[in-house]
Chains A and B, each alone.
Chain A
Amino acid sequence: MDLLLQLLLEAILLGTFYAFLSLGFSLTWGVLNILNLAYGSLVVLGSYLAYSLFNAVGVDPIVSLPISFAVGFVLGLLLQVSFVNRVIKLEPFMVLILTFGLDILISHTLNYFFKADIRSIDVPYAEGSFIVGNLIVSEVKLLVFLLSLILTALLFLFLRFTWTGRAIRAVALDVEGARLVGISPERVFALTMGIGTGVAFLSGNLYGILQGFTPFDGGLLTVKAFLVSVLGGLGRVESALFGGLLLGTMEIFVSFYAGESWKLFASLVLMILVLIFRPRGLMGGKYYGEA
């Protein structure tokens, strides 16, 4: 029983991080209708940014969160304006090629500067763990869980209750309808890409706190973001939370009972089953517009 509770705790802590990780990916998917294959590499770029700020300048990895978001936001905006807007009018396939190329560019550039060694950001105030009842709680996992939860809630409130958030959801639901009320979809696209990349950088910052990373972690992180989006259903912040917890649970239990190497295999099997039987995701929401 204690073991089961311990595994569930781990699943919740990890799953909430996965939920936040996937939000930037599913937001750009839902609003711009593009699959950003460079997403995971953008996350890793965020990890190296937080790492560099911490090691070179001594910026605390929690203090660096707003910086991560700002840098990611500007980068996303630039990417959208300079590349994606030019390509998005062509076939969707071209966007895949573009982001795939970007993925390679980012990971190899990081490899050039940082080498393939595993790096990590060691938070001095969250190195140990404590015991509640019979459960062992790792401080660093708890920290990342709490930050993920707060950031997810902020994004939810932003999309739900601000004018800009409403405009983003409006464009996701009906581009022509948005034009008819005076919203410029092109601006919303750029803004969404900015926010999506900002979230990628924030996730990267958290990822760096949570575990060691290398320049080539991006591919796997993209797969995880994709999995969460598909499992939960593209659409709402709540769906991502559901998908994230599902993936987290899956990974923790499969790793424990079958072994670490079965983790990805099991996730992919689950994804294929969902795509076959519930292609709109288990929660079945539609894009970011729905209430």
Chain B
Amino acid sequence: MSGKVLDVSDLRAGYGDVEILRSINLHVGDGEIVAIFGSNGSGKSTFLKVVAGLLRPWGGSIRFMDEHIEELSPEERVRRGIALAAEGRKLFLGMSVEENLLLGGWIRRDRVKENLERVYEYFPQLREKRRALAGDLSGGQQQMLSIGRALMSEPKLLMIDELSLGLAPAVVDRLAQIILSIREREGISILVVEQEVSLALEISDRAYVFDLGTIVDEGSSEELLRRDSIRKTYLSLM
């Protein structure tokens, strides 16, 4: 393998006639945490949807573990090792927490018990609430469930959309810790879309800045954190 789990080049996509992504070039290395940030409507979530297969690209290539996946169904991509904790969570709100997790393990039914135990170790709150309806959880718990459900499929690439959106700061800190420990223990790659730039740069190794469907800046997170343009535009620091 080239060392790249995900390698996207010249990707274009949109809805109807409206082009949202124009020529995106992005990669995620083995075991890397990569963050995407940028203003609203810059195409971050759309990008994750295209990688997960929920939206067909107009052009360009997506390679996962050195294989082209543009034509594959979302289901097949899950099987190959891509999992998305989606925007709006896409949970089964009328089912219990545990049923949501079990369904997350649909393609790994043989190992569902071990995986369930593993997810409960990351998120003890979910164990306590395992009989509760997903729809009755707090926002933070739903985000945990969404990430936990994604982990149930034993992904090689975990994508998380809008990690901190609408969550209390204490919950966000906790989630950030858990994400770091997931990477450490699972050795998987993580691609996270995050509005909150300081958080995005804090948990990631590298980051991409999206604006109007293109990448306007990229680099290691440490470097971006020091860069004046980033500090001025996104961190309101001088």
Q: Report yes or no: A182 in contact with B79, Cβ–Cβ below 8 A.
A: yes
Contacts A173-B92, A180-B74, A181-B106 hold; do A291 and B99 have CB atoms under 8 A apart?
A: yes
Does A286 interact with chain B (Cβ within 8 Å)? Answer: yes
Does A211 interact with chain B (Cβ within 8 Å)? Answer: no
Contact with B along A249-291 (1 / 0, CB 8 A): 0000000000000000000000000000000000000110111
Of the candidate stretches A61-69, A84-92, A105-113, A162-170, the one touching chain B is A162-170
- The minimal Cβ–Cβ distance linking A269 to chain B, given in whole angstroms, is 31
Which A-chain residue is minimally distant from B52 (CB atoms)? A180
Tell me the dominant secondary structure on chain B's binding face: mixed
Residues of chain B with a CB closer than 8 A to A183's CB:
75, 103, 106
Residues of chain B with a CB closer than 8 A to A174's CB:
90-93
- The minimal Cβ–Cβ distance linking A288 to chain B, given in whole angstroms, is 9
B residues contacting the other copy or chain, number (CB 8 A):
31
Does A115 interact with chain B (Cβ within 8 Å)? Answer: no
- The minimal Cβ–Cβ distance linking B140 to chain A, given in whole angstroms, is 19
B residues with a Cβ closer than 8 A to A are: 52-54, 73-75, 78-79, 83-84, 86, 90-96, 99, 102-107, 109, 133, 149-150, 152-153
Q: Report yes or no: A182 in contact with B95, Cβ–Cβ below 8 A.
A: no
Residues of chain B with a CB closer than 8 A to A180's CB:
52, 54, 74, 78, 83-84, 86, 90, 150
Q: Report yes or no: B86 in contact with A176, Cβ–Cβ below 8 A.
A: yes
Does A212 interact with chain B (Cβ within 8 Å)? Answer: no
Does A58 interact with chain B (Cβ within 8 Å)? Answer: no
Find residues 213-271 in chain A having any chain B CB closer than 8 Å to their own CB: none
Q: Report yes or no: B103 in contact with A181, Cβ–Cβ below 8 A.
A: yes
Q: Report yes or no: B133 in contact with A291, Cβ–Cβ below 8 A.
A: yes
Residues of chain B with a CB closer than 8 A to A287's CB:
94
Residues of chain B with a CB closer than 8 A to A179's CB:
53-54, 73-75, 78
Does A184 interact with chain B (Cβ within 8 Å)? Answer: yes
Which B-chain residue is minimally distant from A176 (CB atoms)? B90
Which B-chain residue is minimally distant from A187 (CB atoms)? B75
